[in-house]
Amino acid sequence: MENETTERDLRDRLDLIENMIAEGRRKSESWGWAFVLWGLAYYVAFFWGNWGHFAYAWPVTVIAASLLTMLGFWRNGSKGRPNTTLGRAIAAVWWTTGLAMFILYLSLAFSGRLADYHLSVAIAGAMLGAANAACAAMLRWMSQFLCAIVWWSTCVAASFGSASQTTDAFLGAIFLCQIVFGIYAMTLEARRRRQHEALHA
């Protein structure tokens, strides 16, 4: 009898974990627009900085994208979705990584140590890869893990490749891991909403 209860308890606990992972993934899918927004922001900052030769292109674009993300977060938050432990963990991963990258890059730029273009792309690739991999491990999401691999490959390409190879790798990674992955997440969310509406119609 006691064994049965323990087994049932374990099954309940596993069910709860599975439900929380599924809920976390649904929540991540509803943030697909943020991936697309940041992908576009990276492109704007990259081309503005390289073609427009504007020294503050990156900080200005990143601050603008952060404000837009906060606006979206505020609108999403007002929909009354309950927060989960995994949701808080995922949010912590992105906020902390974003803030640390912003402060690190700003310090490196102002101290004049960010002269090497390869190095700046390598650091970005490593940190974005780590954030994607941590989320993928928590949510058991293979597509996001592929994004992490793409970012890490960019890090390696930036360390050992030429300037043009680094640029190609960086722009390609933004396209695949921000734009394509963001649209993929948005599509999944839209499909789920349609199914939900059809069920409740």
Partner 1 sequence: MPNETTERDLKERLELIENMIAEGRRKCESWGWAFLLWGIAYYVAIAWSALGSAAWSWIAWPITMIAAGILTGVLASRVKRNQPATNLGRAMSAIWSVMGTVLFLVLMAVGLSGRADLHLIVAIAGGMLAVANGISSIILRWKMQFACALVWLATAVGACFTTTNTQIAVLSLSAIFFCQIVFGIYAMTLDARRRKQHEALHA
Applying CB under 8 A, which residues contact partner 1? 13, 17, 20-21, 82, 84-86, 88-89, 92-93, 95-97, 99-101, 103-104, 107-108, 110-111, 113, 116, 118-119, 122-123, 126-127, 129-131, 133-134, 137-138, 152, 155-156, 159-160
User: Toward partner 1, which CB reaches closer, 52 or 80?
Assistant: 80
User: Toward partner 1, which CB reaches closer, 51 or 110?
Assistant: 110
* Least distance in angstroms from the C-beta of 84 to partner 1: 8
* End-to-end Cα spacing for the chain: 44
DSSP 132-198: HHHHHHHHT-HHHHHHHHHHHHHHHHHHHS-HHHHHHHHHHHHIIIIIIHHHHHHHHHHHHHHHHHH
User: Toward partner 1, which CB reaches closer, 8 or 191?
Assistant: 8
* Least distance in angstroms from the C-beta of 135 to partner 1: 8
* Least distance in angstroms from the C-beta of 155 to partner 1: 6
Angle subtended by helix axes 32-51 and 163-174, to nearest 10: 150
User: Toward partner 1, which CB reaches closer, 133 or 150?
Assistant: 133
With H, G, I as helix, E, B as strand and everything else as coil, classify residue 115: coil
Alpha-carbon gap, residue 84 to 3, rounded angstroms: 30
The neighbour count for residue 152, using CB atoms within 10 Å, is 18
* Least distance in angstroms from the C-beta of 10 to partner 1: 9
The one-letter amino acid code at 195 reads Q
Measured at the CA of 111, the angle between CA 53 and CA 116, to 5 degrees, comes to: 55
User: Toward partner 1, which CB reaches closer, 92 or 190?
Assistant: 92
* Least distance in angstroms from the C-beta of 98 to partner 1: 10
